[in-house]
Amino acid sequence: MTIKRNRTALIGFFVGMVLLAGCSSNQSSEQFSDLPLTEAALRAPEWHSLQRYEALYPVDEARAGNSGCATVEYVITPDYRITDVKTTHSTSRHFAQQARQAITRLNFANVASGILTEPVKTRTRFEFCLQNNDGDCAVSMLQQERHCQGTDVFFSIGSRVKRL
């Protein structure tokens, strides 16, 4: 009987924590919903020491021979936290997932403090380019094709590996 009550109490506790976490993340979104978009904010000179990483090429998309893109919008707070990460455009859920993960890996360790006095909303476009047979992934074509929006562009180049 005691074990059953403890299990029920534990389940109730975890459900409450999940609901609480959901409420707090919604407050964050509401807090920044009126923030104007600052295009290519991270391309400004004061961010030159920000360590950015390209998105990993999704294995499923590489196997299928697909290239594509994803645009991720997010807010950077004055204490350099990334919040309100959301995909605004994408040619695949796999590309969107990898783009969001790349944004959460931004490394502000070498960035001078005090650059931001208020939160800033910006976006980054990730272009996923799969190399063709001659080793060129036609980056110039990707720059011209605007399936996804944004001028802060990051490329992720993948290649197909044939199994023997």
**137, 129 Cβ separation under 8 angstroms:** yes
Bridge partners (DSSP) listed for residue 129: 157
Among residues 35, 43, 44, which one has the least CA distance to residue 77? 35
Q: Which CATH number fits domain 41-158: 3.30.2420.10, 3.40.50.800, 3.30.70.330, 2.160.10.10?
A: 3.30.2420.10
DSSP 144: H
Among residues 41, 58, 59, which one has the least CA distance to residue 50? 41
The mean per-residue pLDDT over the stretch 29-48 comes to 88
Q: Provide the pLDDT for residue 159.
A: 77
Q: Provide the pLDDT for residue 131.
A: 80
**pLDDT tens digit sequence for 81-98:** 999 999 999 999 999 999
First to last CA, the chain: 58
**107, 47 Cβ separation under 8 angstroms:** no
- Any idea which residue has 């001659």 for tokens? 134
Reported as type and span, the H/E element at residue 128 is strand 120-130
Q: Provide the pLDDT for residue 146.
A: 63
Residue 4 has pLDDT above 70, yes or no: no
Residue 79 has pLDDT above 70, yes or no: yes
User: What radius of gyration do the chain's Cα atoms show?
Assistant: 20
> Domain ranges in the chain?
1-34, 41-158
**116, 78 Cβ separation under 8 angstroms:** yes
